[in-house]
Amino acid sequence: MAPSDETSKEEQPPAKDGDAKKMQKALPQAARPPKPAPLMQQLYVWSQALGLVMKYSADSSQLRRQFIVVGIASLVRTGTLLWKMRLNELQVFYQNSGQLQNWIRTMWQGFVGGLAIAMLTSWHSRAEKALARIWRTALTNNLHRTYFASSHFYQIAQGGSASGAITDADVRLTEDVPKLASSVSSLLCNIVAGVIDVGAFTAILARQGKFGVLYAITTQLYGITLYVLANYVIIVDFARLLGGVAVTDSALRQGLNRAETHADSICALQGGATELRSLLAKLTANVQAKMRSYIEQEGLNSVLYYTIMSCMENTPLLWMTYLWGCAAPLAGHTIRASSDSSQLGYTERSPLIAQGYSRGIQTFWAGNYLMFGTFRIVSSMHQVLQNYASIVRIQELDKKLSATAAPPASVHAAEDNRMEFKEVSIHTPSGALLVDKLTFCVRWGESLLLTGHNGAGKSSIFRCMGGLWPIHQGTIWRPTATEETVQSIGLTGAAYYLPQRPYNALGTLAEQFCYPDPPPSSLTEQELRRWLDFADLGYLANLPGAFNEELDWEKILSRGEQQRLAILRLFWRRPQFAVLDECTSAVTGEIERRLFEICPLLGISCITIAHRPALLQYHQQQLTLTGKPHEKNGGWHSAKIAQSVAAFDPTSVSEVNAADAIEKYLARRDVKLTEHRRKETVEITRQRTGMLSPKANDCNTTSPKVSKRWWHPALVAGLRQPGAGWRLVTMFVALLLRTHICLETWKSVGGIIAASLCFNRRKTLQELARNIGLTLVNLVLDRVVSRCTQRLCLMLHEGYATIIHDLMLKKHAIHYGMALQLPSVMPPGVRAGEGATFAGAVETFLNQSLKANLMAFYGGFWALRNQGWRVMACFLINLPIHQLVMRWLMPNYAAHSAVLADTEAKFKTVHGRFRQNLEPIAFSGGGRAEQQIVERRFNNVLKYQENLDNEELVYQGLSAFLTDGSLLPLSFMRILSMYYTYTVSNVTQTGTISALELDNMWKFDRATSLVFNHIGAICRLPEALMGVVGAAWRLAEFAHGLEHAAKQAPEIAGPGAASNSAELVLTANCVDIVAPKAGDALALSVNFEVREGKALIITGPNASGKSLLSGYVAGLRPLPGQDAKITLGGLCIGQHRPHMSELLLIPQRPYLAPGGLGDQVAYPHEGASQAPEKLLKCLDIVGIAYLVERHGGFDKEPELPWDEILSGGEQQRIGIARCIFHMPKFAILDECTSMVSQDTELGLYQDCLGFVPPNVGGLRQEKT
C-alpha cells in the first residue's frame, strides 16, 4: 500500500530482477556461520538445527511421549531383529545339513518375526513423522507468535540489506521450517535407532571372541572414518551452494507472487513480455544454481555413496565387499579351528562347510545391521547438511525477531488526551531528513488538516507516532486507551489510522467489519445490517456466505466500498483521534460529508491528510509541510483556520450511543438508506435475465468448466531441449548395464565365501580383487545415471516453467484466469511454482522405483531362464496378496497428494498476502488477527498430514512385510533355495555340502534375491506412479486452465490497427455491466461514443460498475451478453485489444516494475533504449524531474522496489508521465490523480492536454 505521501522506506526488496547474471551476484551473500574446518562446520550446523527445534519444544509433553515411542519401537525392533538374525542362521544351517523339520519350524518363526518387524518399523516411521510435525508446529507457532506480535513483521523488513533486513519471512516460515523439522526428526530418530542397533549387534559380535570384537570395532570405524576423511579431502562449500539455491528459489517464488499480485496492471500496460524476461532470468538462475550444487557435490557424494550410502539402498559396492571380506574369513577361521586339515578341497564335502557358512551368514547379518546402524546416523547427518540453507535462514529469522527493538522511548502516553509533537525531527530509516523540529498539538475535540506536496513526509509523521519509524530527536505524546497501548506499535487504540487503501482481511463480513478485533457476541446479523446501511452498504449482507464463509473481500469489494467499510469500522471503534489519510478519495461527496459531520457526534477528533481545500471547513488547524527541511522553519508551518467549525466538547459525547446518533443524523438530513439501491439492482438483474436467451446466459458463466486431464505436453517440454535425448538414452543404457553388473557383483561374493571356507587365501584375494573391480564399474554407471537423472529433471522443471510463464505473462492468462475465477488456476503464483515438485517426484521415481524394478525384472528373467517356473510361481503368490492389501488398505495417494498440495498452497498464499500488506496491518494493529487467519490454514495442513499418517500406518506395515527383501520375500527365497539344495545336491542323504555346491547355491540365491529383494518396487509401482501422477495432474490442470483463459483473452493488435478510418471513434453499444462474482446486473445496454479530441467523464456511486466498464473498454474483461460490442475505429475490442499507442489505462495505483527510473516511465519498454531527453521531459511536465538526480539517473536500479521509495503522489505522477511518454490516442484515467493536490491535479490535466496532440480523447472515471 502506498499512503498519500509515503516517503523512502528502507525495506529490502523481495528479489532483484534482471538477467541471470544479476541473480548470480546474490549467491555468495548467503549467511555463513564460522567454520574452521569441514567437520566443525557440520557440527555447527547440526548443533544449530537441534538448538532451533529444542528451543521451542523442550517442555512439550507430546514431544516426550513421541521420544518414548521412538525409543520403545527401536528397542523392540532391534530385539526382534536379533531373533530374526538367529533364525536366518539356523535356517541356513538346517537347509545345508538336511534337517527339514527344524527348517520348517524356523520358517514359521521367521514369518511371525518378519511381521512384527514390519509393523514396528511402520510404527517407528509414524513416530518420526509425528516428531517432525510436532517440531514444525512448535517452530511455526512460536515464530508466528513473535513475528505477528506488535509490528515485528514490519520492523524486520526495514533497513535494507546492510542491516540484515528479512523480506522473505513468508517463504522461510512456509518452506524452510518444514525442511528443518523433517531433517532434525530424521536425524534424532536415526541416532536413537542407530545407537541401539550398534550396541546390540556389537554385543552379538563380541560373543565370537577377539576377532568378533575387532570386526565390530573396525565396522564402526569404517563408516565414521571414511565419512570424516571424505569431508576433509573433498571440501564442499555448502553455504555457498545451498545458500545460492535458497536465494534463487526465494527470488523465483516472490517473482511469481509479484506477477499474481499485479496481474491486472501488467495486462493493462501490455507488459507481459517484459515481466516474462525478468521471470525467465530468475528461472535460469535457479536452474543454474541447482545444477552447480549438484556438480560441486558430485565428488563427495560419489565417495560417500561408494563407501557408505549405497548400504541404505542394498547396492553392492565397497561396504558389501568389506562385510563379506571380513565375514567369510571369520567363518573360515571357525572351520579351521574345528578341522584337522589345513585346506579343504573345492569339491570336498564336509559338515563343517554348512556350519561355517551359517556362521558366516550370522556374522554378515550382524555386521550388516551394525553397519546399517552406523550408516543411518551418518546418512542422517549428511541429509541435514542438504537443508543447510533452511537452517541458516530460520536461524537468521529467529535472531532478527528476538532482536527486534521495542517501541521508542520518545513516544509517551498523554494523560490529558492530546496528540503532540515537540521538536521532533523525522528521518527515513535510511537517514534522510524530512521534517526538522516539528512542533504541534491537537487536543481531543479539535481537528487538524495536514497538507503538503508529494513526498514531503505527511504519512511519515504518523509512522513515527505509531512507532513504525524510530525517533532520533524530540518527544511525541499520544493518547492511549490502556497503559499497554503505548507499548504497542501502530495506531489502533485511542488513535486510529484510516488509509486511502484500506486493508481487507480474509474472513466473514462481521470479521471484516470489526477487524482487527473478533466480532463481539452483541454484533448480531441484524445489528450488522443496521451499521452497513449507515454507509449505503446494506446489500453486502445479501452476498452468499457473507456471514458464515471466509471470503476475500479485497476481490469482492470495489475501492469505494472498501473505503466506506473502513469508515464504518472507524465509527464502530470510536477512537479519540482518527488519522484520515486520503481515506475518501474513492467515495461520493455525500459519504465524505457524513464522515466529517458524524465524527464530532461520536467524539472523534480528525487529523486529515488531504489536498482538497473544501475540507478546511471541518478543521480548526492546518499544518503544511514544504518538503524543505533544511530551511529555517524546518520544512513546516502551522496556522489556525478561520471560519471553520467549532471544536466539540468531549464530555458531551462520551455517553452517546454511536448507532443511535448516526441514525438521528441521517434522519435529520432525510438520507435514504440503501434498500432502494438493492431493489434497483435486483430489478435490473431480473430485466436482464428476461432479455437474454439461454445461450447468452451460458456464455456469461463466471467459472467455465475446464477439462480435468492429467496430461499436458508442457510436462515433457523440457525433453525437447538440446542434449535431453542423448542424456535419456545414456541413462537407460547405464541403468541396464548397472543391473547386469550388480548381479555379477553379488555372484562374485560366492567365490569369496567358497574360497574362504576352503582356506584358499590366494583364491580369496583374487575374488576380492574381482569384486572390487566390479563395484568400481557399478559406481561409475550409477553416477552416470544420477547425473543424467538430475539434469533431465531440471530440464523438465525448466521446460514446464518456461511454457507456463509464457502463458501466464506473454498471453496474460494469469489475469484472465483470475478475472474468470477459474478454480483450476487458483492460486496462480503458488501453482506456477509446483513444477519443481513434479520434477522432484520424477527424480525420486527414477532413483528409487525404476532402478529397483529393472533389478527385479532382470533377476526374474535370469532365474526363469535357469530355474523355470518355480521362481515366478513364488513371485505370483506374493503379488496378488499385496494387490489385495493395496485395494483394501492403501490410501489414495494421488488424491491425497493433490489435497495436501492444495492446503499447503493456501497456507503459502495467505502468508504471501500478508507479506504484501505489512504497513497497513502494522498501522491497524492487525498482527494477531492475521495470525489467527494464517494459523487456521496451517492447522488444516497439520490435520491432513496427521490423518494421512494414521491412515497409512497399517498399510505401510503390511506392505513392508510383503515386499521388504529381508522379511516375507526372504522366506520365499529360502523355500526356493531349499528346493535347489534338495534337487541339485544330495545333502539330505549325506548331511554334508561342498564349497562348489555352496558357490552354485549362492549364485542361484543372488539371482532370486534380485527378484524378491526388489519385489517391493514392483508391488509399490502403482503407489510410486500415483505420486508422480498426482503432481502431474495438478500441473496439467493448471496448464489447461491457463490455456482456457488465454483463449478467452483478445489478441493485442499492432500499432495503428484501429486507425484505419479517417476519424478515430470509441463506441460502446448494448454493454451490460455485470458483477463478476455475484452476477448482479449493475447497468443495462450502456451506449456511448467518444470522438477524437473529445472527452467523456463517467460518474456514479460506489459499486455501480465504473471500474468494470473501464475494464470492458480496455479489453481486460470479456463482454457479457451476445449483443454487447465495443469498437475503436475498425477494431472490435472484444476480439482484439488496442495497442497501447491507441488506448491506455492509467489506474489509481500505477504498477512500478523492477528496473531504473527510465524503465518506469517507458514501461513496458526498456528505459535504456529511450532518449534521455524525452524521459526527462515527461518527468518535468508532471513535476518530478528531481527524481532523476535523487536516484542517480535513469538507468540505476535502486536496492528497494519503487513502490517502497516513492510516495503515493509521486507514483501517480509516474503513471501520468508514462501516459505522456506513450501518447495514446485515448487514455482511461481511473482516479489517477487522487493523491495529488487539487491545484496540481488541474495543472497536470492542462499540461498533459497541452503536450499530447490535440486529437487525444480522455475517458475519465470520477466520483460524483
The least confident of 419-423, 708-712, 1177-1181, 1184-1188 is 708-712
The least confident of 197-201, 430-434, 868-872, 896-900 is 868-872
C-alpha cell at 552: 476475500
pLDDT digits (tens, 9 = 90+) for 919-962: 788 887 788 888 888 888 899 998 888 888 888 888 888 887 87
Distance CA 584, CA 1131 (A): 37
Note the Cα 998 to chain centre separation in Å: 57
Average of per-residue pLDDT across 454-461: 78
Q: What is the mean pLDDT of the chain?
A: 77
Is pLDDT of 455 > 60? Answer: yes
What helix, strand, coil percent values describe the chain, rounded to 5?
Answer: 65, 10, 25
For residue 1088, give the H/E element and its range: strand 1081-1091
Length of the chain: 1264
- Which amino acid is present at 141? N
Query: Cβ contacts of residue 981 below 8 Å, gap of 6+?
Result: 95, 96, 987, 993, 1001
The backbone torsions φ and ψ at residue 1134, rounded to the nearest 5 degrees and listed phi first, read -65, -25
Distance CA 1070, CA 1126 (A): 9
Which is more confident, 1189 or 992? 1189
C-alpha cell at 1158: 527510465
User: For every residue of 699-729, which 3-state class applies, written as one string?
Assistant: HCCCCCCCCCCCCCHHHHHHHHCCCHHHHHH
What is the DSSP secondary structure assignment for residue 407, as one 8-state letter?
P
Average of per-residue pLDDT across 265-275: 85
By the 8 A CB rule, do 1010 and 856 touch? yes
Is pLDDT of 704 > 50? Answer: no
Which pLDDT does position 864 carry in this prediction? 67
Distance CA 645, CA 619 (A): 7
Is pLDDT of 691 > 70? Answer: no
pLDDT digits (tens, 9 = 90+) for 460-519: 888 888 777 778 788 888 887 554 454 556 676 788 888 878 888 888 888 888 888 888
Distance CA 522, CA 658 (A): 14
pLDDT digits (tens, 9 = 90+) for 621-665: 888 888 788 887 888 888 888 877 788 888 887 778 888 888 888
Which pLDDT does position 665 carry in this prediction? 84
Is pLDDT of 804 > 50? Answer: yes
By the 8 A CB rule, do 423 and 437 touch? yes
Distance CA 318, CA 307 (A): 5
Alpha helices in 438-539 (DSSP H): 458-465, 509-514, 525-533
Q: What is the pTM of this model?
A: 0.74
Distance CA 384, CA 391 (A): 9
pLDDT digits (tens, 9 = 90+) for 827-874: 888 788 888 888 888 888 888 788 877 877 777 677 666 655 666 666
Which pLDDT does position 13 carry in this prediction? 34
Instruction: Using CB atoms within 10 Å of the CB of residue 1204, give its burial: 0 to 12 exposed, 13 to 18 middle, 19+ buried.
Output: buried
By the 8 A CB rule, do 574 and 656 touch? no
pLDDT digits (tens, 9 = 90+) for 1095-1116: 888 877 766 778 788 888 888 8
Long-range Cβ pairs for the range 880-884 (8 Å, 24+): 881/962, 882/959, 882/962, 882/963, 882/1019, 883/1019
User: For every residue of 796-861, which 3-state class applies, written as one string?
Assistant: HHHHHHHHHHHHHHHCCHHHHHHHCCCHHHCCHHHHHCCHHHHHHHHHHHHHHHHHHHHHHHHHHH
Which pLDDT does position 1088 carry in this prediction? 86
Nearest residue to 591 (alpha-carbon basis) of 558, 621, 624 = 558
